Amino acid sequence: MTSTLGTTVKFEKIAKSFGVVRVLEELSLDISPGEFLVLLGASGSGKTTALRILAGLETASSGRVIIGDNDVTEVLPKYRDVSMVFQSYALYPHKTVGENIGFPLKVRKVSQAEQDKAIREAAAQVQIDQLLDRYPRQLSGGQRQRVALARAMIRRPSVFLMDEPLSNLDAKLRGHMRAELKHMQSELGITTIYVTHDQIEAMTLAHRVAILEKGVLQQLDTPAKIYNDPINLFVAQFIGSPPMNVVHGGLEGTTFKSRSGLVNVPVGGKIDKAILGVRPEDCTIVAPDIAEFKGEIYTIELIGDHTLVTVKAGDDFITVKAPKDFSGKSGSQIGVSFSKERMFVFDKETGARIR
């Protein structure tokens, strides 16, 4: 018997269209054994479709899906040896927690004793072993989430698929479950593909993140690479909270000019319509006379460990991560300066990064 834990998964030029609408354009992914890959994108980006094609719930219009050594493109979902956690958890409301968890084994006609043992161990794994006789409607959101996880892991599939499993939880619980999920995945070492629209989840969970937009893969890399070295404007703006500041202007040589000021950037070229991107933590508030950009304070929000100051410079709004003891008055004139190495310039037309 070969171990099916930690299997490779391969997407080869998977495309999908519903009628004339193309939801996925030739997506190719290569996922290594035991990897935690997050598919990140806004709604309608095709991320869920990609997951459902992998599960076999949807058939690809073209391309191949390979799990391990097997081409499963035409294989029924039940033979793919994948399990899935749905956004709604898809717990069977008429079955107890124990019966829910044991369902995959019941389908396989595993003996009752063996089922019970496996159910108890899976439940212990997610710490719900005292809830086995309850019904899903008697559980809290977080507990339901755990039941869904236990049901997915009980038959130890080759691949875990997760479709926004945390999005129905409240913010506090979500953070907690995220940490647990990450720990469990590294314990089990099962290849996991995780779909989300939440960039924080993607950054914290993933070994690698694949960002999709309108069915096209934008960037596939580690969270750090994606944050520090975005490939285009879309990725740059999608990742990071608060999102990256953008200043509209033009690039001449190594100088970026906008209506509210000019700044030297680390790249060069001649583009009439360019966009300068800087993350809030790379901006500082300075006195207007020494600043590259001038504007007036629009709002001040105290977050806790820092203060977010939004500055209106020309038509652009620049958010600055300032110290928590920052004080100022709405409407007063102020300057913003950027850290030299952390500025990105994009072509406004194509969104491509200028390097």
Partner 1 sequence: MKTSTYKIEKSHRSLLMRLFEPPAIGKMSFASKLLSYFILWFWALFVIFPIYWVIITAFKDATTVNQGPFYIPFVDFQPNLNAWRVHLADDPYCNAYAIGRQLLLLIHNSLVFIVSPIFTLEAMEPQICKTYLAFTNSLIIGLVSTALCVSFGSMAAYALARVEYKPKFGNIFIFILLALCTIFTTNYAGIPWYFSTAVGLALFFLLARTLGKKFIRTLHNGDILFWIISQRILPPIVVIIPVYIMFQTVGLLDTHLALIIIYTVANLPIVVWLMHDFFLALPIELEESAQLDGASRFSIFWDIVLPLTRPGLAATTLLTLILNWNEYIFAVFISTSKSQTMPIMVAAKNAGEKGILWWEMCVVIVIMIIPVILMAIILQRFISRGVLLGAIKG
Partner 2 sequence: MSNSNYFQPGTSPVGFKRLRSDHLNEWLDRHSRTFFIAPALVLLLAFAIFPTFYSIIFALSRVKFTANGLRFRFVWFDNFFAQFSGNEQAHFLGRLTNISVLGWVFFAAVTAATLYWLYKSFRNGASVVGLIGRFISAAMAISIAFLFSATLLSGNPWGTLMTTLFYVFVGCTVQFFIGTMLALLCSQPISGKNFFRVLFFIPLMITPLGVGYAFKMVLDITKGPLQPLWDAIGLQNWAWSTDAWTARWFVILGDSWQWIPFIFIAMLAALENVSRDQVEAAEVDGASNLMIFQEITWPQIMPVAMTILLIRMVEAFKIVDLPNIMTSGGPGIATESITLHSYFLWRANDMGSSSAVAYLLLILTVVVCASFFNYIVLGQFKKTK
Binding region for partner 2 (CB under 8 A): 1, 3-6, 78-79, 81, 104-105, 107-108, 110, 114, 118, 121, 124-125, 153, 155-156, 187-189
How far apart are the C-alpha atoms of 68 and 159, rounded to whole Å?
10
How far apart are the C-alpha atoms of 299 and 91, rounded to whole Å?
45
108 near partner 1 (CB under 8 A): yes
How far apart are the C-alpha atoms of 147 and 144, rounded to whole Å?
5
The CB-of-79 to partner 2 minimum distance in angstroms stands at 6
The CB-of-156 to partner 2 minimum distance in angstroms stands at 5
How far apart are the C-alpha atoms of 298 and 311, rounded to whole Å?
5
C-beta of residue 259 within 8 angstroms of C-beta of residue 333? no
Q: In a 10 Å sphere around its CB, with 0-12 CB exposed, 13-18 middle and 19+ buried, how is residue 247 labelled?
A: buried
The CB-of-80 to partner 1 minimum distance in angstroms stands at 8
Choose one: 76-84, 199-207, 307-315, 316-324; the region binding partner 1 (CB under 8 A).
76-84
Choose one: 17-25, 29-37, 54-62, 164-172; the region binding partner 1 (CB under 8 A).
54-62
194 near partner 1 (CB under 8 A): no
The CB-of-56 to partner 1 minimum distance in angstroms stands at 8
Residue recorded with tokens 């030297």: 264
Phi, psi of 4 (to 5 degrees): -95, 0
Would you state the structure tokens that stand for residue 266, as one six-digit string? 């680390």
Dihedral of the alpha carbons of 145, 149, 152, 154, in degrees to the nearest 10: -130
94 near partner 1 (CB under 8 A): yes
The CB-of-189 to partner 2 minimum distance in angstroms stands at 6
Residue 109 vs 172, nearer CB to partner 2 = 109
18 near partner 1 (CB under 8 A): no
Partner in contact with 93, chosen from partner 2, partner 1, none, beta carbon below 5 to 8 Å by kind: partner 1
104 near partner 1 (CB under 8 A): yes
The count of residues interacting with partner 1 (CB under 8 A) is 22
Of 13, 59, 71, 92, the one binding partner 1 by CB under 8 A: 92
84 near partner 1 (CB under 8 A): yes
Partner in contact with 282, chosen from partner 2, partner 1, none, beta carbon below 5 to 8 Å by kind: none
Would you state the structure tokens that stand for residue 82, as one six-digit string? 């994948």
83 near partner 1 (CB under 8 A): yes
124 near partner 1 (CB under 8 A): no
86 near partner 1 (CB under 8 A): yes
The CB-of-82 to partner 2 minimum distance in angstroms stands at 12
Partner in contact with 336, chosen from partner 2, partner 1, none, beta carbon below 5 to 8 Å by kind: none
Of 44, 77, 250, 328, the one binding partner 1 by CB under 8 A: 77
57 near partner 1 (CB under 8 A): yes
Using CB under 8 A as the criterion, which residues of the chain lie in contact with partner 1 when the complex forms?
A: 55-57, 77-78, 80, 82-84, 86-88, 90, 92-94, 103-104, 107-108, 151, 155
